[in-house]
Amino acid sequence: MNKLLLIIRREYLAKVRNKSFVIMTFLSPILMVGMVVLIAYLTQVNDNEHRVIGILNESDFFSNEFVNTESTSYLQFDDISLEHAKDSVSGLGFYGLLYIPDEINLEKVCSRSFLYTKEAPSTAIIDKIEGVFQERLRQQRLLELGVSASEFETVDTNFDIHTATFDGQTNIKGINEIKAFIGGGFGYLIMMFIIIYGGFVMRSVIEEKTSRIIEVIISSVKPFQLMLGKIIGTSLAGITQFAIWLVSASLLLLVAFAFFDIDPAVLNTSAHIQDQMGANMAPPIPVADQTMRLYAQELLSIPWVMLIGFFLVYFLLGYLIYSSIYAAIGAAVDNETDTQQFIFPIILPLMLAIYVGFFSVFSNPHGPIAVGFSLFPLTSPIVMLMRLPGGIGEGGVPIWELVVSILLLFGTFIGIVWLAAKIYRVGILMYGKKPTYKELFKWLKYD
């Protein structure tokens, strides 16, 4: 036990004192925050651009339907030719020219109208202008059907269905996605951690092989102790790095936003789009506040303690499974270039878990695919965490699924670590051989 601690300590210090590790630890948050700030800044600049669109209206069907907004304003041209108007618009540096010809009826006017721009127009502008035409056409058709505008307004209602589970819990739209997103965040964290620090474990094993210290150490400690110490030491270094990243990135982000005077809300794009649409199309929904409160309530009702508890369980088992595979790979090869053929099969289930998670679990957290992948031990650490924010038991993940998933994961953990330790034990003392899967299989039979 004492030897294990010694190994853990050495692995931890070797990692933490490593120059590139130190640089990565302190540079990454700066890069990350820099990127976020840049994106936020650019988004803001982009949104602040003011567009002017000239309108050459020769028809009587349109008069003042085009209303200036914060980002777009319209300028009417009168009594000039289309060619002249185009010249003026490009001369004045306007965004574009909307041409509405004079025709006998509205349908024809609409179908003959043109939007001229210097470059291909943005979808936002097209949506806006199309919206105006659509609204005008609808009014016209209603009028032809004998419905007045005011009459129509009383018919026009906005409706959202209320949903609830059988035990009376109120649901709100989108909350499943948000919950899965939170779980997905945890799952993603596990994947990143496995790929980054599993790779560290592997490289550290290769280093011991190439520097030929391995046989010196292995005559003092059991190979399994060395492997375990290496995995634990490296992950402690990883946790240290993650903690530093988390703290320094959030501090930096706060400072940066304060300094550049950027509203963090601009990053919340979905809310942003909703705002725009709300302003343009329909009157603001009075229930918005209430919805927000419901969302907040739902988020608070996510069983965080349970979630973090299970995150730790899945993280620990998942990471140990994968990093012992990485250690075995490191032991099997002589240098890093030989690792490729073995790495891909490891990354595959991780990628699968993330993609299946985002595409399938989001839409149906308790569907057969989601259940299957949250039971399969190589994907369960990620997929199960995406399902768990929905709670356990009724309405959430059935208890039996959770128990089976953890038992399977634990069994796999024991099995994989045992197999990996065997490959590791043989591999660390093999030099100059490029191993094949067949070779590895043979090693499993040695004792």
User: Cβ 336 to other proteins, closest distance in Å?
Assistant: 15
- Angstrom distance (rounded) from CA 27 to CA 11: 22
User: Cβ 234 to other proteins, closest distance in Å?
Assistant: 15
Does residue 218 touch other proteins according to CB under 8 A? yes
Residue with tokens 């349109």: 62
How far from chain centre, in Å, is Cα 436? 36
Looking at 38, 80, 213, 281, which residue binds other proteins (CB under 8 A)? 213
What secondary structure letter does DSSP report for 290?
Answer: H
3-state secondary structure of 171: strand
User: Of 10-18, 80-88, 114-122, 317-325, which part binds other proteins (CB under 8 A)?
Assistant: 10-18
- What value, to the nearest 5°, has the Cα angle with vertex 137 and ends 133 and 143? 150
Task: Tell me the site size for other proteins, rule CB under 8 A.
Answer: 26
User: Cβ 215 to other proteins, closest distance in Å?
Assistant: 4
User: Cβ 355 to other proteins, closest distance in Å?
Assistant: 38
| Lookup: tokens for 362 | 């989001």
User: Cβ 20 to other proteins, closest distance in Å?
Assistant: 11
User: Cβ 433 to other proteins, closest distance in Å?
Assistant: 12
Does residue 429 touch other proteins according to CB under 8 A? yes
Looking at 159, 166, 259, 446, which residue binds other proteins (CB under 8 A)? 446
Residue with tokens 């291909």: 120
User: Of 139-147, 217-225, 289-297, 356-364, which part binds other proteins (CB under 8 A)?
Assistant: 217-225
Does residue 431 touch other proteins according to CB under 8 A? yes
Looking at 189, 217, 252, 266, which residue binds other proteins (CB under 8 A)? 217
List Cβ neighbours of 128 (8 Å cut-off, separation of 6 or more): 72, 280
- Angstrom distance (rounded) from CA 122 to CA 125: 5
Does residue 265 touch other proteins according to CB under 8 A? no
Does residue 438 touch other proteins according to CB under 8 A? no
Looking at 105, 165, 169, 220, which residue binds other proteins (CB under 8 A)? 220
Query: Please, what's the largest Cα pairwise distance for the chain?
Result: 97
User: Cβ 293 to other proteins, closest distance in Å?
Assistant: 56
- Angstrom distance (rounded) from CA 201 to CA 230: 7
Does residue 215 touch other proteins according to CB under 8 A? yes
Do residues 373 and 379 make contact, with C-beta atoms less than 8 angstroms apart?
Answer: yes
What secondary structure letter does DSSP report for 170?
Answer: E
Of 15 and 128, the one with the shorter C-beta distance to other proteins is: 15
Looking at 120, 212, 259, 305, which residue binds other proteins (CB under 8 A)? 212
CA end-to-end distance (rounded Å), the chain: 23
Does residue 18 touch other proteins according to CB under 8 A? yes
Do residues 149 and 139 make contact, with C-beta atoms less than 8 angstroms apart?
Answer: yes
User: Cβ 191 to other proteins, closest distance in Å?
Assistant: 29
Does residue 445 touch other proteins according to CB under 8 A? yes
- Angstrom distance (rounded) from CA 327 to CA 306: 31
Please provide residue 81's backbone torsions phi and psi, each rounded to the nearest 5 degrees: -75, 165
Do residues 40 and 265 make contact, with C-beta atoms less than 8 angstroms apart?
Answer: no
**Site residues (vs other proteins, CB under 8 A):** 3, 6-7, 10, 14, 18, 207-208, 211-213, 215-223, 429, 431, 442, 445-447
